[in-house]
């Protein structure tokens, strides 16, 4: 595909050929010149259509400006089309023009004066100009051949642009759409849509951004993922983009909250040497803002929405979004401006030619030989929905294992077990090594992977943002082994070290993970419920979002046993919920429940309650027909005959007999424990010393305990 288009009049063919030769000598292989016998318009092709296609496809247009060019309608049309397509234009003045000025349509672009002769110094300026526009073959092809040209499961980064292939058309299309949005004031956001692993992030990071960096009309802010602190993330990128010290981030975050994104950007851009450039915010994995009920995400969405409505300064945005979240976004009521001011482009699957390029071109850059037939063999295995991430991962593993001799072979590939197995095999190997070397970590790994997962929107599982702090210390070294193999990804995010599953293909291809999630689905749901509750509570402060009952108890249990590590926000919600639960139970008269909600009182009372529970359970065996006891039975079967049973009985009573079932009693005058509880369903009472004091003749088996004490008792009716 041509990269440089030379716009010239046929009357200036000599100058055009001289330029073509200079460019070719310099290493610019991608040229389009209409009379060029090798790269130009093929004989018999439709002249106009071919020119138009080439103009669309190129990255830069070099205009050989002369009186002939000025007088040609077609040459004028070429310039107009180039501008409409957002192309970079460099003008070379090649004849005296008899004192006429350069037309305004070219005036704002770079130009070089060749009228005094085309010497090396003048061309040196052209090479510099092209390099500044990112069109230098030298610059784009620079890649350390010792470095793997196959990044693996992670999305391509900007630094990996030289080895990013197969997405030229999409990249150009996106740039054209961005330029179109910039021209139309009503459009502020371009959404790059596609399924999981379709290549959205890579196109944006390694395709579009490197090109836009060289376009002085854009001021590209480094891309970021929203993560847990989207406003802070944005502030940090702004500080970096506008040369502010790293600690300016928090002041900028405050400023963003106090005023608005456009206002802050206006101030920042105005202070630079390109005050008219349009800032471009790039938000990757936009769906992170839409899953769950996080207040920080909602706050950020409100800011973005306001930026879409702002008419005093136009900020453009480009976001990547999983297609399955489009419906979620459309249903939201709090982002009407975003919905109105956004356009979208869907990333198509890569065709066979593009897939072949991503296999063979990076190899060429590193002078790595691919055995004949290897590319075809790899392509045969790309028919699955996860083809792209699996192919990327497979190529990476092939490189790691086989590049030393400068050659990758089909046999080496077959030894990996094909694309469908390569990821699972790598993960299995790490898991086996952990099992052998570190049994403690091995036992904790399922919990760690569960913590890095969540239930996806369209069924299935999705990765969740987690930080290293969320995981027990004992499992972290084992997790690092997965990071080393690029199965997990570790990255810094606003001063916090995150760790997460590198790609969701892992959920679909690695058996042990599927099994852990299956076994611990209740834990996963609980953790997700907890995350959502933290989000809702921090947003609305509504007591209804505090945790209660069995859920709260289970989360506390999981945290105490070290199976999950609570974040500070989660910890504080759990503590707050526990206090509220105790108050509520006390208000309702459920003294046992309240006592059990309090760790100190619980430890005091636990041994005393146990005999009662045992007795109730024994009694229930003889009274299957009693609905009340039948219910206890249900509870008791699920739980051990420990105080957990009492807790469940207490909670269940509140749930099933909200009015009369609450256990009643008095807190003792000594304040720290209970004198008596009455179970209204059967009239049983238990004193603080654990003995059963009285019975009601309602069908329950009656027996008098020895030496029962009734001190301080005021029995319930």
Ligand X SMILES: Nc1ncnc2c1ncn2[C@@H]1O[C@H](COP(=O)(O)OP(=O)(O)OP(=O)(O)O)[C@@H](O)[C@H]1O
Q: What is the binding site for Mg ion (CB under 5 A)? A: 201
Residue 230 touches which of Mg ion, ligand X, none (Cβ within 5-8 Å per kind): none
> What is the CB neighbour count within 10 angstroms for residue 410?
16
- As measured in angstroms, the least distance from the Cβ of 500 to Mg ion is 12
Report whether 42 contacts 51 (CB < 8 A).
no
Of the pair 451, 503, the CB lying nearest ligand X is at 503
Residues 486-525 that bind ligand X (CB under 6 A): 503-504
x/- track of binding to ligand X for residues 592-631 (CB under 6 A): ----------------------------------------
x/- track of binding to ligand X for residues 372-411 (CB under 6 A): ----------------xx--x-------------------
By the rule CB under 6 A, 199 interacts with ligand X? yes
Q: At 450, is the secondary structure helix, strand, or coil?
A: helix
> What is the CB neighbour count within 10 angstroms for residue 145?
11
Candidate list 15, 61, 153, 487; residue touching ligand X; CB under 6 A: 153
Residue 151 touches which of ligand X, Mg ion, none (Cβ within 5-8 Å per kind): ligand X
| Residue 171: burial class (beta carbons within 10 Å; 0-12, 13-18, 19+) | buried
- As measured in angstroms, the least distance from the Cβ of 372 to ligand X is 21
x/- track of binding to ligand X for residues 355-374 (CB under 6 A): ---x----------------
Q: How many helices (H) and strands (E) does the chain have?
A: 32, 20
Residue 322 touches which of Mg ion, ligand X, none (Cβ within 5-8 Å per kind): ligand X
Residue 513 touches which of Mg ion, ligand X, none (Cβ within 5-8 Å per kind): none
The first and second tokens of residue 666, run together, are 């008095």
Distance CA 170, CA 158 (A): 16
Of the pair 69, 228, the CB lying nearest ligand X is at 228
- As measured in angstroms, the least distance from the Cβ of 200 to Mg ion is 5
Residue 156 touches which of Mg ion, ligand X, none (Cβ within 5-8 Å per kind): ligand X
Report whether 357 contacts 201 (CB < 8 A).
no
Rg of the Cα atoms in the chain: 34
What are the strands, taking DSSP E only, across 202-264? Answer: 218-220
Element (H, E) at 569: helix 568-587
By the rule CB under 6 A, 323 interacts with ligand X? no
Residues 526-555 that bind ligand X (CB under 6 A): none
Distance CA 376, CA 242 (A): 47
Of the pair 449, 631, the CB lying nearest ligand X is at 449
Provide DSSP, 81-129. HHHHTT-EEEEEE-S-GGGPPPPHHHHTSEEEE-TT---HHHHHHHHHH
- As measured in angstroms, the least distance from the Cβ of 285 to Mg ion is 5
- As measured in angstroms, the least distance from the Cβ of 60 to ligand X is 22
By the rule CB under 6 A, 285 interacts with ligand X? yes
Of the pair 129, 389, the CB lying nearest ligand X is at 389
Query: Which of 325, 331, 333, 327 shows the shortest CA–CA distance to 302?
Result: 333
* DSSP classification of residue 692: B
Residue 194 touches which of ligand X, Mg ion, none (Cβ within 5-8 Å per kind): ligand X
Residue 153 touches which of ligand X, Mg ion, none (Cβ within 5-8 Å per kind): ligand X
Of the pair 156, 242, the CB lying nearest ligand X is at 156
x/- track of binding to ligand X for residues 452-491 (CB under 6 A): ----------------------------------------
Strands 453-455 and 407-408 come out as unpaired
By the rule CB under 6 A, 167 interacts with ligand X? yes
Of the pair 165, 449, the CB lying nearest ligand X is at 165
- As measured in angstroms, the least distance from the Cβ of 170 to ligand X is 9
Distance CA 580, CA 562 (A): 24
Position closest to Mg ion via CB: 201
Of the pair 193, 605, the CB lying nearest ligand X is at 193
- As measured in angstroms, the least distance from the Cβ of 207 to ligand X is 8
- As measured in angstroms, the least distance from the Cβ of 76 to ligand X is 37
- As measured in angstroms, the least distance from the Cβ of 196 to Mg ion is 8
Residue 164 touches which of Mg ion, ligand X, none (Cβ within 5-8 Å per kind): ligand X
Query: Which of 459, 454, 462, 460 shows the shortest CA–CA distance to 532?
Result: 454
- As measured in angstroms, the least distance from the Cβ of 138 to ligand X is 22
The piece of 68-76, 191-199, 323-331, 576-584 that touches ligand X (CB under 6 A) is: 191-199
End-to-end CA distance of the chain, in Å? 90
- As measured in angstroms, the least distance from the Cβ of 127 to ligand X is 28
Report whether 82 contacts 55 (CB < 8 A).
yes
Of the pair 269, 390, the CB lying nearest ligand X is at 390
Report whether 570 contacts 531 (CB < 8 A).
yes
By the rule CB under 6 A, 226 interacts with ligand X? no
Of the pair 223, 389, the CB lying nearest ligand X is at 389
Of the pair 463, 536, the CB lying nearest ligand X is at 463
Q: Report the greatest alpha carbon distance in the chain.
A: 123
Of the pair 3, 201, the CB lying nearest Mg ion is at 201
- As measured in angstroms, the least distance from the Cβ of 471 to ligand X is 22
Query: Which of 672, 109, 487, 662 shows the shortest CA–CA distance to 479?
Result: 487
Distance CA 265, CA 310 (A): 12
- As measured in angstroms, the least distance from the Cβ of 576 to ligand X is 35
Of the pair 517, 605, the CB lying nearest ligand X is at 517
**CA distances for 104 relative to 68, 109, 419, 522, 540, angstroms:** 17, 10, 55, 67, 56
> What is the CB neighbour count within 10 angstroms for residue 605?
23
The first and second tokens of residue 41, run together, are 């318009």
**CA distances for 695 relative to 197, 519, 620, 679, angstroms:** 67, 44, 15, 10
Tell me the helix, strand and coil percentages in the chain, rounded to 5.
55, 10, 35
Residue 388 touches which of Mg ion, ligand X, none (Cβ within 5-8 Å per kind): ligand X
The first and second tokens of residue 216, run together, are 């002085």
Residue 296 touches which of ligand X, Mg ion, none (Cβ within 5-8 Å per kind): none
By the rule CB under 6 A, 151 interacts with ligand X? yes
The first and second tokens of residue 162, run together, are 């030289």
Of the pair 200, 296, the CB lying nearest Mg ion is at 200
Size of the site for ligand X (CB under 6 A): 26
Report whether 230 contacts 296 (CB < 8 A).
yes
- As measured in angstroms, the least distance from the Cβ of 356 to ligand X is 11
Strands 60-65 and 218-220 come out as unpaired
| Residue 428: burial class (beta carbons within 10 Å; 0-12, 13-18, 19+) | middle
Report whether 461 contacts 453 (CB < 8 A).
yes
By the rule CB under 6 A, 164 interacts with ligand X? yes
Of the pair 87, 167, the CB lying nearest ligand X is at 167
Of the pair 199, 210, the CB lying nearest ligand X is at 199
Strand partners, 501: 488
The piece of 148-156, 328-336, 427-435, 657-665 that touches ligand X (CB under 6 A) is: 148-156
Report whether 125 contacts 118 (CB < 8 A).
no
CA atoms within 13 A on the CB side of 612: 31
Sites of contact with ligand X (CB under 6 A): 151, 153-156, 164-167, 194, 196-202, 285, 320, 322, 358, 388-389, 392, 503-504
């Amino acid at each position: 595909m041509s990269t440089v288009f030379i716009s010239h009049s046929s009357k200036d063919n000599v100058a055009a050929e001289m330029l073509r030769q200079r460019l070719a000598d310099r290493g610019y292989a991608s040229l389009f010149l209409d009379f060029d016998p090798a790269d130009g318009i093929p004989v018999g092709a439709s002249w106009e259509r071919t020119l138009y296609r080439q103009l669309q496809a190129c990255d830069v247009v070099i205009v050989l400006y002369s009186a002939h060019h000025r007088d040609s309608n077609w040459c004028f049309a070429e310039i107009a089309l180039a501008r409409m397509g957002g192309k970079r234009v460099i003008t070379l003045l090649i004849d005296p023009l008899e004192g006429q000025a350069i037309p305004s349509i070219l005036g704002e672009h770079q130009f070089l004066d060749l009228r005094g002769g085309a010497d090396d110094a003048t061309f040196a300026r052209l090479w510099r100009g092209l390099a500044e526009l990112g069109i230098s073959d030298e610059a784009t092809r620079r890649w350390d051949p010792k470095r793997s040209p196959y990044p693996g499961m992670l999305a391509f980064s900007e630094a990996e642009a030289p080895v990013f292939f197969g997405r030229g058309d999409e990249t150009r299309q996106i740039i054209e759409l961005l330029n179109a949005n910039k021209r139309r004031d009503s459009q502020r956001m371009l959404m790059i849509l596609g399924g999981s692993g379709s290549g959205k992030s890579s196109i944006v990071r390694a395709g579009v951004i490197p090109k836009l960096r060289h376009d002085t009309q854009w001021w590209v802010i480094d891309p970021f993922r929203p993560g847990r602190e989207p406003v802070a993330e944005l502030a940090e990128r702004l500080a970096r983009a506008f040369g502010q010290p790293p600690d300016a981030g928090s002041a900028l975050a405050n400023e963003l909250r106090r005023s608005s994104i456009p206002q802050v950007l206006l101030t920042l851009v105005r202070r630079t040497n390109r005050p008219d450039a349009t800032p471009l915010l790039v938000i990757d994995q936009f769906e992170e803002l839409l899953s769950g009920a996080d207040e920080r995400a909602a706050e950020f969405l409100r800011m973005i929405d306001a930026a879409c409505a702002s008419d005093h300064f136009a900020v453009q945005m480009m976001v990547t979004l999983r297609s399955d979240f489009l419906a979620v976004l459309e249903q939201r009521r709090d982002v009407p401006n975003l919905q109105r001011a956004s356009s979208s482009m869907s990333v198509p699957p890569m065709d066979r030619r593009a897939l072949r390029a991503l296999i063979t071109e990076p190899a060429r850059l590193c002078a790595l030989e691919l055995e004949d037939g290897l590319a075809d063999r790899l392509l045969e295995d790309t028919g699955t929905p996860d083809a792209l991430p699996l192919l990327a991962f497979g190529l990476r593993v092939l490189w790691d294992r086989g590049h030393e001799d400068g050659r990758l072979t089909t046999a080496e590939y077959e030894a990996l077990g094909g694309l469908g197995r390569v990821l699972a095999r790598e993960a299995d190997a790490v898991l086996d090594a952990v099992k052998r070397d570190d049994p403690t970590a091995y036992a904790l790994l399922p919990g760690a992977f569960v913590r890095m997962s969540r239930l996806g929107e369209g069924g299935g599982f999705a990765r969740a943002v987690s930080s290293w702090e969320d995981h027990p210390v004992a499992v972290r070294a084992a997790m690092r082994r997965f990071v080393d193999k690029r199965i997990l990804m570790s990255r810094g995010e606003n001063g916090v070290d995150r760790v997460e599953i590198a790609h969701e293909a892992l959920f679909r291809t690695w058996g042990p993970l599927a099994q852990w999630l299956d076994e611990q689905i209740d834990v996963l749901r609980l953790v997700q419920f907890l995350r959502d509750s933290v989000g809702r509570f921090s947003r609305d402060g509504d007591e209804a979002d505090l945790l209660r009952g069995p859920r709260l108890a289970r989360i506390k249990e999981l945290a105490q046993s070290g199976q999950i590590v609570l974040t500070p926000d989660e910890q504080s919600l759990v503590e707050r919920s526990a206090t509220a639960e105790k108050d509520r139970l006390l208000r309702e008269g459920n003294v046992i429940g309240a006592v059990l909600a309090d760790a100190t009182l619980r430890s005091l009372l636990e041994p005393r309650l146990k005999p009662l529970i045992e007795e109730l359970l024994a009694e229930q065996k003889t009274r299957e027909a009693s609905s009340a006891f039948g219910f206890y039975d249900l509870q008791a079967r699920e739980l051990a005959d420990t105080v957990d049973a009492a807790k469940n009985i207490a909670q269940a009573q509140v749930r099933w007999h909200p009015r009369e079932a609450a256990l009643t009693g008095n807190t003792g005058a000594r304040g720290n424990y209970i004198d008596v509880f009455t179970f209204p369903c059967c009239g049983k009472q238990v004193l603080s010393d654990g003995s059963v004091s009285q019975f009601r003749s309602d069908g329950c088996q009656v027996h008098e305990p020895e030496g029962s004490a009734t001190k301080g008792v005021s029995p319930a009716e």
